[in-house]
């Protein structure tokens, strides 16, 4: 396991082609919950074309982008304008434009097929499918790193609700929505098993166990991985979820974030192998269906009842 970083602590890098990958992933998931990954098998040209496609969409006039507005009725697929998503840590909003594609539970209440929301992002959709395969590989390694079988988590992923986020951070968006903080995305933990990130410019920061923020560099042919709330809950804190944010934006930037998620309405709570009399459950159950949907609806200001 090698390491890389600009300033702050070095970020470990795991090579998935190495025989030591499983042990290394188990170690970093216990210690910090974040690492870079190479040897993932996803062509660099596909990632480049996904960024190009994302840039073309965000260059469209606002009236065209809002035709794809996200909400409860679209199962949150689609577009979120600058500041539409409210911050959980300050009075303003998130200083970026956002778009989501991915899996759904069936027909959308919007009356449009899921493919409508995917149409502007054909290359990103292809990347999404490759990310889902990578996500399965990483989750198997996470299970083996816990001394469980590689398919330990499989019963909770039938069918999975994976999502791909496409975010655009433009210089000045924070001022445009009158934010009083300099960071562009508020500190938070993802409601996911883990998130796999590609960024075209630096900006993502992760908080370590010491409370300090570490910038995540852009390293060719690697993705950055950090654990979310669900793996921390399932493992009763054995694996660490990661607080992350996007710092001040001095150059326009884009990020692509793949979130590996369980089946809709999976109730995530500490699992038996990680609970004992000496180590009782440390986390309340969380419903990844209606409870998560209600939370997200409140953040983006959608007043309709969540499914």
Give me the pLDDT at residue 307, please.
Answer: 39
Residue 10 — very low, low, confident or very high, per pLDDT cuts 50/70/90?
confident
- pLDDT digits over 111-138, tens only? 999 999 999 999 999 999 999 999 999 9
CB 260 within 8 A of CB 192: yes
pLDDT mean over 127-153: 98
Domain contains 288:
no
The verdict on residue 128 lying in a domain is: yes
Q: What is the pLDDT of residues 78-116, one digit of tens each?
A: 999 999 999 999 999 999 999 999 999 989 999 999 999
Domain span at 83: 2-264
Let me know if residue 118 belongs to a domain: yes
Average pLDDT, integer, range 210-236:
97
Q: What is the pLDDT of residue 306?
A: 41
Q: How many CB atoms lie within 10 A of CB 132?
A: 17
Q: Is the pLDDT of residue 303 over 60?
A: no
Mean pLDDT computed over 202-221: 95
Residues β-bridged to residue 99: 79, 166
Position 106 in a domain: yes
Higher local confidence (pLDDT), 209 or 282? 282
Q: What is the pTM of this model?
A: 0.96
Report yes or no on 88 lying in a domain: yes
DSSP string, 165-214: EEEEE-TTHHHHTT-SSS-SEEEE--SSSEEEEEESSS-EEEE-TTS-EE
Question: Radius of gyration of the chain from Cα atoms?
Answer: 19
Positions of E strands within the chain: 2-4, 11-15, 34-38, 78-80, 97-102, 163-169, 185-188, 194-199, 204-207, 213-215, 223-227, 244-246, 253-260, 267-268, 286-287
Please compute, for residue 19, the number of CA atoms within 13 A of its CA located in the half-sphere on the CB side: 0
* pLDDT at residue 9, rounded to an integer: 59
What gap in Å lies between CA 114 and CA 102, rounded to an integer?
A: 8
CB 37 within 8 Å of CB 225: yes
C-alpha pair distances (Å), 89 with each of 5, 47, 78, 228: 27, 32, 24, 18
Q: Provide the pLDDT confidence category of residue 209 given band limits of 50, 70 and 90.
A: confident
The whole-angstrom separation of Cα 61 and Cα 66 is: 9
Query: Is 255's pLDDT higher than 70?
Result: yes
**How high is the pLDDT of residue 8?**
52
The reply to whether 307 falls in a domain is: no
* The two three-digit tokens of residue 267, written as one number: 């109730």
* pLDDT, mean over the chain: 95
CATH number at residue 57: 2.60.120.330
The model's pLDDT over 269-294, given as tens digits with 9 standing for 90+, comes to: 999 999 999 999 999 999 999 999 99
How sure is the predictor about 302, in pLDDT bands with cuts at 50, 70 and 90?
confident
- Band of the pLDDT at 4, cuts 50, 70, 90? low
Number of domain units in the chain: 1
Dihedral angle sign, alpha carbons of residues 228, 250, 102, 109: positive
Report if residue 154 sits inside a domain. Answer: yes
Indicate whether 270 belongs to any domain.
no
């Amino acid at each position: 396991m090698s390491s890389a970083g600009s300033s702050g602590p070095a970020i470990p890098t795991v090579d998935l082609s190495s025989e030591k990958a499983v042990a290394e992933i188990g170690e970093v998931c216990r210690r910090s919950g974040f690492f870079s990954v190479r040897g993932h098998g996803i062509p660099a040209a596909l990632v480049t074309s996904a960024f190009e496609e994302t840039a073309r969409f965000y260059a469209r006039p606002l009236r065209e982008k809002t035709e794809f507005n996200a909400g409860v009725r679209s199962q949150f697929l689609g577009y979120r304008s600058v500041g539409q998503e409210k911050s959980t840590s300050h009075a303003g909003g998130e200083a970026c434009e956002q778009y989501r594609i991915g899996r759904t539970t069936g027909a959308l209440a919007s009356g449009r097929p899921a493919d409508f929301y995917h149409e502007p992002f054909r290359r990103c959709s292809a990347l999404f499918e490759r990310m889902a395969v990578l996500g399965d590989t990483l989750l198997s390694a996470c299970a083996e790193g816990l001394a469980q079988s590689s398919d330990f988590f499989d019963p909770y992923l039938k069918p999975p609700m994976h999502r791909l986020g496409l975010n655009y951070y433009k210089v000045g968006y924070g001022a445009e929505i009158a934010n009083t903080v300099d960071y562009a995305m508020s500190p938070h933990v993802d409601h996911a098993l883990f998130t796999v990130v590609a960024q075209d410019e630096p900006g993502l920061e992760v908080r370590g166990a010491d409370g300090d923020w570490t910038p995540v560099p852009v390293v060719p042919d690697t993705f950055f991985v950090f654990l979310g709330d669900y793996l921390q809950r399932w493992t009763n804190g054995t694996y660490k979820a990661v607080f992350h944010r996007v710092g001040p934006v001095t150059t326009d930037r884009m990020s692509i974030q793949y979130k590996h998620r369980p089946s809709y309405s999976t109730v995530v709570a500490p699992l038996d192998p990680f609970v004992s009399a000496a180590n009782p459950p440390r986390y309340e159950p969380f419903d990844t269906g209606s409870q998560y949907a209600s939370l997200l609806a409140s953040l983006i200001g959608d007043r309709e009842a969540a499914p």
